[in-house]
Structure formats: structure tokens, C-alpha cells
Structure 1
Amino acid sequence: MSTVLDVASVLDPLIARYTSWLAMPGAATADVSDEDPDQVVLMPMVLRIERRDPPARTALLEAAAAAALAVCLDDRCAPGGEWHESMHRWISGRIRKVARRARGAHWAAVQELPGRTVEVGGAEVRAMLPMRVAEMPRELSRLQISGSELEADTPGEPPADRPLLLLSPDAEMSAGKTAAQAGHATMLLAAAVHGAGRDAELARWREAGYPCAVRTATEQEWARLCPGDPERAWRERGVVAVRDAGFTEVAPGTVTVLGQWR
């Protein structure tokens, strides 16, 4: 079995890019005018949403946050592993995810594709090995992107023994979009912990299955924690921020999630 130090090196491209991206002007976004949509590399995330017994929204988001990181830090993503090249190429470029919903036989079918499934409180999400849109297998391409909305729930106080992901109180996002953003947050947290040389802490998180608590921030919490200086925010408060490029649902430059290492 690979150690965290072996596998976490795949996250290294995130560390330097995070600070420069967060410091860009609020209206900035990536120029994709010359991009071929079929050649975009992204991580598909499949949310299990059964018609008769849908999962709780918070549990689904927590499962998505853990699943995205679990596939990134899978042993097969270590240098020399069978997934390393695909994961390294994706992390070295634009970090994009797309969330789709599945139920019944369609959910069972995606379990055969390369990826990792995480279950939290009865909610299940499978994060896939990143792939080009043009190469997406039918088991994924036939799944719907829309229709992933779930009613808000009241999960209570977050446990203190795991990282906290705070959703923006102002950014309205579907459950699918929020799941992708939560996955971005756990990746950034893991990259920051690894970059700080705290791999023993990262190893404990990995052994526990990457649990995290997802909550919506109050206006006061958001104002207190949202970083102006990303390096200082991490150093003093253990906070990283997900800043969206604005391809879907939110305006370019929107900070959607704050991740706090606790």
C-alpha cells in the first residue's frame, strides 16, 4: 500500500496555483474561447438519488466531498500507478467536475467504472477517474445533470473532529454544483496540509475515510473566515477557499466554499 506521501504528490500542482488564483480580481475567469468542448478533461461525480428514498442533502454533500478526494489519493494515483497519468494531467490543468444523478440499474452500472464510492449516512456518491468528455462511456453520458436538487435539511452542530466545509450564504447552487464545489474544497485542504509538511495529519484523515462536515455559513462566519490574503488565512486559521471560474450557475470569481482544517 502506498503511503500518503507517495500519493499526495499528485496534488502538488494545486499548491502554487491556489494562491495566485484566489488573488485574481473578482471578475476574472478563464479564457476558454478556443477550447474544444469534447477535449475538456473533467471528473464525473455520480450522485445516487433514488426516486422513492432520496438522501439527505447534507449527507450527500459530505459523501461527495470525501469521494472526490478519495479517488485523487487512491493508491493507483501514486507515481507509477495505473491512474497516475490521468490524475496528474487533470490536476495540472483546469480542475473541473460534473455531477450527474443516477438510480437503480444506472447506479449499479457506474460501479464498474474506475473510481471510488463513498457512503455517508445512507447517501452515496461515486467520483470517477478524470476523463475527456469525448471519451465518456455511455454509462455516464446517459445520466442526467439536471434534477439533482434536494430539500435543505438541518444537520445540527458540526462534529469537531473533522474538517469543516462552509457553503457561501449568498451563492445559490444546485445540489450537483455544490457537490462539485465541496470536492474542490477537500482537494485544496489536502494539498495545503501536504504542502505544509503535515502528512501525518493527512494520513489520519485518509485512514478515517476523509470525513468532513458540510454546513451553510452564517453571514458573520463568512465575513470572519473568508480570506483576503490566502496564505495568511491558511497559516492563521487553517482556511482555504474555493473560487469558481463561473462556467455554470454562479458568477465568475464567486467564492463558493470555505474549507477549514480543524
Structure 2
Amino acid sequence: MTDLAETDPWSLSLVARVEKDAAGNPAPTHTDTLVAAARAVVLLLSDPRVTSPDGELRAAVQAWRDRRIRKICRRARGVKWERTAALPHAEAASGEAVVRVFAPHPREQVPELLRPLQVGGLDLADPEDLAVPGPDGLLTIRLTPGVAMTTGKAAAQVGHAAQLAYEQLPQARRWQETGFGVRVLTGAPVLPPSGRVDVRDGGFTEVPPGTTTASAGFEGTV
């Protein structure tokens, strides 16, 4: 990371689909949205458009990685959601949740199709009987207990966690081969520091600077 982190910030945009008519389009749950966000981030980073030397998104991703890995979550519905498909992106779904992740851009140069989408205020719920799958084959992302975050903020944090796991943990290749499965729960880390990645927030929104918002690691067999 260079001084560009402060003088020329870039962001990765996540967009969650949240339709207004919950009767006709069931509202996504909080956890499903987080799972979809985490998977969409690593699907973009592992895409040939990023990994190939001549990939169309490679330069933008590299410019963003050289700075703070800021992520901003927006929400969209209806025709505004459909229009975002025209931009290069990766998409992931979990349950009723669908999240798209778009190529990074300078923070003040948001693509026209994303600019009108609402930032902030995305706060979804989970059912009381939410079932968490077992860890085998999945990256486990643990949100820090006692750190209150909206769904939009948490989506950015699990995106950070998935990215760091993809870039730093030795099991990442096998994880990719098995489809980037993710589970998200709230709880203190159970893995030692050598076996996990931790996310410490920059403090720009919702939580104080340096707050550990999430950890991630492979708690089962991958």
C-alpha cells in the first residue's frame, strides 16, 4: 500500500438486490446477503478478466489493491438493478439474496449506472430459526460479537474477509476449486492467528477506527 491510499482513494462497489414488493419478491435475509457478498468478491478477483495478463479488469483491480481495499455496498431494485448488468461484474446468490460486485473505480468517479443507487440504510433481518451449515468445504467468516453493523456495512466487511482469505490463506486454491463456499456467523475466532485472517476497519462509517469486525478461516476440511 502506498500514499495513494489517502490521496487517491478507490472503491469496489457491491450492489445487493432488494425489491420493494416483498410479497412478490421475498426479501433476502441478512446472512444470505452477506454470504452472497463474500462469494461475489472472490468470484470477481478470481475471474480471468482480472487474473489474465491482458484481462479487461486487471489494471483497475491492481490500482485498487495498491490502496486501501475500500468496499461500498449499495442496493437496487427493479429496472435500476437490471441496468447494472451492463457493467462488468461478478454475481453470487444465496437463498433469495443476489449481490453483484463491480470493477473498482476512483471513489469520486462512480459509474453512472451505480451513482443513483442508495448507499447506507440496508438493514435486513434473519429468521429466528436460522440454520448455519457445517464448516467442511466452506470458508467460515465470523462477525465480531458486540460490534453492531447494518447489513450494508457487514457486507463490505465479509467481502474484505473473503478477499484476505483468498489472497493469504494456503487453502485458498482448494477453496476456489470447490466453488468458494462461504458460511457467515457471529462469534469469536476459534482458529489461531496463523490459521485465519482478521479484518480491522478504517473507521470511515459505523465503527471506530481499528475495530476488528470479522475474522475468516477454514475450520473444517477443504
Q: Same fold (TM over 0.5)?
A: yes
The secondary structure found in structure 2 opposite 1:209 is coil
Preserved CA contact (<8 Å) 1:101 1:147: no
**Correspondence list, 1:87-166, <5 A:** 87-153=61-127, 154-161=129-136, 162-166=138-142
The corresponding residue for 1:167 is: 143
Percent of residue pairs identical: 35
The secondary structure found in structure 1 opposite 2:135 is coil
Determine the C-alpha separation between the residues in 2 that align with 1:93 and 1:50.
33
Which one of the candidate residues 13, 21, 42 is aligned to 1:44?
Answer: 13
The secondary structure found in structure 2 opposite 1:45 is strand
Determine the C-alpha separation between the residues in 1 that align with 2:197 and 2:108.
32
Q: CA deviation at 1:83?
A: 1.3
Which one of the candidate residues 25, 39, 50 is aligned to 1:77?
Answer: 50
Preserved CA contact (<8 Å) 2:27 2:96: no
Preserved CA contact (<8 Å) 2:30 2:125: yes
Which structure carries more strand by proportion? 2
Determine the C-alpha separation between the residues in 2 that align with 1:115 and 1:212.
19
Q: CA deviation at 1:80?
A: 2.7
Q: CA deviation at 1:135?
A: 2.6
Determine the C-alpha separation between the residues in 1 that align with 2:95 and 2:174.
21
Look up the equivalent residue of 2:131 and give its one-letter code.
G
Determine the C-alpha separation between the residues in 1 that align with 2:207 and 2:172.
31
The corresponding residue for 1:233 is: 193
Mean CA deviation greater in 145-154 or 238-247? 145-154
Look up the equivalent residue of 1:176 and give its one-letter code.
G
Q: CA deviation at 1:143?
A: 0.3
Q: CA deviation at 1:204?
A: 3.4
Determine the C-alpha separation between the residues in 1 that align with 2:31 and 2:56.
33
Per-residue CA shift, 1:25-54, capped at 9, x if unaligned?
xxxxxx94xx4xxx5310000011112121
Unaligned runs of 5+ in 1: 1-12, 18-30, 226-231
Preserved CA contact (<8 Å) 2:29 2:124: yes
Determine the C-alpha separation between the residues in 2 that align with 1:164 and 1:249.
23
Look up the equivalent residue of 1:133 and give its one-letter code.
R
Preserved CA contact (<8 Å) 1:246 1:253: yes
Which one of the candidate residues 193, 197, 205 is aligned to 1:248?
Answer: 205
Q: CA deviation at 1:192?
A: 1.4
Give the superposed CA RMSD: 2.1
Which structure carries more helix by proportion? 1
Q: CA deviation at 1:211?
A: 1.2
Give the TM-score taking structure 2 as reference length: 0.87
Look up the equivalent residue of 2:86 and give its one-letter code.
E
Determine the C-alpha separation between the residues in 1 that align with 2:132 and 2:107.
39
Give the TM-score taking structure 1 as reference length: 0.75
The corresponding residue for 1:20 is: none
Determine the C-alpha separation between the residues in 2 that align with 1:108 and 1:208.
29
The corresponding residue for 2:39 is: 66
Q: CA deviation at 1:65?
A: 0.4
Q: CA deviation at 1:77?
A: 0.9
Look up the equivalent residue of 1:157 and give its one-letter code.
V
Q: CA deviation at 1:99?
A: 0.3
The corresponding residue for 2:29 is: 56
Unaligned runs of 5+ in 2: none
